[in-house]
Structure 1
Amino acid sequence: MRSRNSEITIHRPEGLSTELRRAWHRAMDDSPDYANPFLAPEFAAGVGRYRAGARVAVLHEHAEPVGFLPYERNSFGVGRAIGLGLSDAQALVHRPGVTWDTQELLKACGLSVFEFDHLVEEQKPFGRHVTGTFASPVIDLKDGDGDDSYAEWLRGAYPGLAKTTLKKERRLARDLGEMRFVFDERDPRALPTLMRWKSAQYRRTGRMDRFARPWIVDLVNHLYQVREEHFTGVLSVVYAGDRPVAAHFGPRSRTVFAPWFTAYDPELRYYSPGLIMHLRMAQAAGRDGVRLMDLGRGDKEWKDWLKTRELRVGEGFATRPHPVAAAHRLWRRPVRGLRNTVLAHPGLREPADRLLKTVGTLRTSSGRADSRAG
């Protein structure tokens, strides 16, 4: 139970005072578990600009802010981790030794249920509410030596991939022009190109097009402008000659870089531009002081190629006794269970991917036909 010297206050994330932001940053700095940029107040504030239900619960001990839980709440009291579906790290960010009563926390937030899907492993008070844990691959980056060429670094870091990747890069340079990589591209014209490529990829593969949602477009455009110590929006681009080949946008903190949206020119897919992008980013991020590249939850072949180890993240529902909480769990758990079953079994995942790609092809063809008819 929390003591009489404890309290919980609720705030809009974009309205946090400078003092509270600094306290949040100190909590991030105190533990490597919270160094991920998705756990920074800048990310929560960005979501808060475009999501009316965004809030932050601040835990106080002896009048000192010691913990921060960013979340979103709807009118029925259903809560979810802030940016659920977009964020690759979720947590109540707190100072060492701080704990909490989950029932009291939910009550203070006005929540009957709190849903999460990328909860960092350290969050013990939420432990009994975790319904499953999943691998989140990471790359441990070494200190970059500025004198090493990219080719030398690649042969040392990924000898199995080096020959094939360098061959494709040389072929791309011969076909289109000299290869050039910009880790922190400030030309704003590159960001709409990335979004256009990514939208096309979502449609081809039958996935939900995130960039069809205006608030996500607005959020990414906003985060691209954020350049703070604990959160910087990084846009990276691979060029061949003057032509952009692949692009990526994602956040970084001082020590952690989180790949987020990667896409490439589909006409150039046979050169493996997405893999080239991730390898180039890994080298550049290491040279720029990043120590961990968090690839996020999900089974992808390229993640298995690049990872050095895995973290564990949890999904589940923290609940209070309430009819809304029970209804939400009954609705969401079967959907999650089916998705996780498919993702965990390659024999099911591959047919599901083929089905989604077929749907995407039909959807794209239908859209072209409608356009011609119009």
Structure 2
Amino acid sequence: MKVTVVRPRDLGPAEIGRWRELQLTDPELGNPFLAPEFALGVGRFRDGARIAVVEDGPQVVAFFPYERGPAGIGHPVGSGLTDLQGIVAPPGLRLDARALLRACGLGVWDFDHLLAHQALFAPYHAARRVEPVMDLGAGFAAFEGEMRRAAPKTHRTLRYKERKLGREVGEVRYVFASADPADLRRLMEWKSAQYTRTGRADRFARPWIVRLVRHFHETGFGVLSVLWAGEEPVSAHFGLRGGTVMAGWFPAYDVRFGRYSPGMLGHLRLARGCAEAGVAEIAMGRGGKEFKECFKGREIPIAEGRVARRTAGAGLHWVRAAPLGRARGAVLDHPALYRRADRVLKTCARLRGRTR
């Protein structure tokens, strides 16, 4: 097999068309984070974005999107933003992972949201987890019926709060796809405030991420949905759509309406909007948010780990990254530890706010 490394912008219409064909060989490859649009978008704003094009004879058989950092340290393309990673190839394709890294000029490739069933990287898994998915394949009525059966108290509470929001603030309405840049600016402001409030790093403090999100919004690859009560925007969600799959990405809400559970109300309305627009599932991303349990219809097994060759850069990277990775994994795998860590981060954020 032959491996050619190119920048995303160097892919032509034939390569993009072949990429889409390969996505059809495995249902999980339909996720927008594995679509050519995502790699092309990241490539506009990240210098290290690359695509390894794998050919077997006259035919392209795989695309491997990645980012190359100093000392040959590699990550998935858009690392830190992606909820699903992997190689775009038929399930039966046989490749050697280390040989692929060598062709890419990488000493190590880290992953944390890898499709766990991809045999190429299976020997390198350090931990396996799952990503919840909202199943809308049978339509919204069926989805809501299943939610009512699985979490009746949560469903009743949400519908009560929705009615209360309508009475106390204004008529509740939902815009599934807003093209208004002001709506996007508001969502990013809400999300930045949430990051600060919860002690997380603010992704929107990084200019390239802001530009990337705006690019996806302008091109239609990103879908911005807004929940309104009268003239008040209550919550919003920015996700990526690839065919019949929506990838949840940035949900946020106005804290003034927190007592109405605006995030959960937004997700319920998002499910209806997606079903009506022909979306069959919403991948919600990995995380310890318990509210996802009442929405999920199935799960995608994902893995984290690293493929490494015997290089100095890979060894140094292991020394720096391994202890942190183990500690983070322990927190993610234990709900009690996750809740405690979450409280500590929020407390630290409050203390920083008081100091300022």
Structure-2 separation of matches of 1:149 and 1:273 = 23
Deviations 1:232-290 (A, max 9, x none): 21100000001100001010111211111000001111110000011111122122222
Within-5 A mapping of 1:234-253 = 234-253=223-242
2:288–2:335 contact (8 Å) kept in structure 1: no
Q: How does 1:164-203 map to 2 (within 5 A)?
A: 164-203=157-196
CA-based RMSD of the aligned residues comes to: 1.9
Aligned-partner Cα distance in 1 for 2:231–2:151: 28
Cα offset, 1:152, TM superposition: 8.2
Matched-pair contact (CA < 8 Å) for 2:91–2:118: no
- Residues paired across the two proteins, number: 356
Structure 1: runs of 5 or more not aligned = 1-5, 368-374
Aligned counterparts of 1:180 and 1:268: Cα–Cα separation in 2: 15
Instruction: Write the mapping of 1:285-364 to structure 2, written as runs, cut at 5 A.
Output: 285-364=274-353
Residue pair 1:257, 1:293 contacting (<8 A) in 2 also: yes
Distance 1:151 1:294, change over 3 A: closer
Measure the CA separation in 2 of the matches of 1:318 and 1:291: 33
| Partner in structure 1 of residue 92 of structure 2 | 97
Look up the equivalent residue of 1:233 and give its one-letter code: G
| 1:94-173 alignment runs, 5 A limit | 94-144=89-139, 155=148, 159-173=152-166
Q: Contact 2:6–2:52 (CA<8 Å) still a contact in 1?
A: yes
Change (3 A) 1:31 1:156: same
> Which residue identity does 1:316 align to in structure 2?
G
Deviation at 1:331, TM superposition (A): 1.2
Alignment-derived partner of residue 372 in structure 1: none
The equivalences for 1:215-230 within 5 A come to 215-227=208-220
Q: 2:205 aligns with which of 212, 215, 236?
A: 212
Give the SS at the match of 1:76: helix
Deviations for 1:63-120, whole angstroms, at most 9, x for unmatched residues? 2111001100013111011111110110110135322111211111000000110100
C-alpha distance in structure 1 between counterparts of 2:90 and 2:142, whole Å: 41
Taking the aligned partners of 2:314 and 2:235, their CA distance within structure 1 comes to: 43
Contact 1:102 1:318 in 2 (8 A): yes
Does structure 1 residue 9 correspond to structure 2 residue 11? no
Whether the 8 Å CA contact 1:33–1:122 is kept in 2: the answer is: no
| Separation in 1, partners of 2:92, 2:79 | 27
2:315 maps to a residue whose letter is A
Check if 1:58 corresponds to 2:47: no
TM-score w.r.t. the length of structure 1 is 0.91
Q: Deviations over 1:301-346 (max 9, x none)?
A: 1111211222110111111111211111121111111111112223
Note the C-alpha offset of 1:300.
1.1
Instruction: Find the aligned partners of 2:306 and 2:329 in 1 and give their Cα distance.
Output: 15
C-alpha distance in 1, partners of 2:91/2:252? 39
Q: Which residue of 2 aligns with 1:365?
A: 354
The letter of the residue matching 2:170 is G
The structure 1 residue matched to 2:40, chosen from 41, 45, 55, is 45
Question: When the two structures are superposed, what TM-score results if normalisation uses the length of structure 2?
Answer: 0.95
Partners in 1 of 2:350 and 2:324 — Cα distance?
24
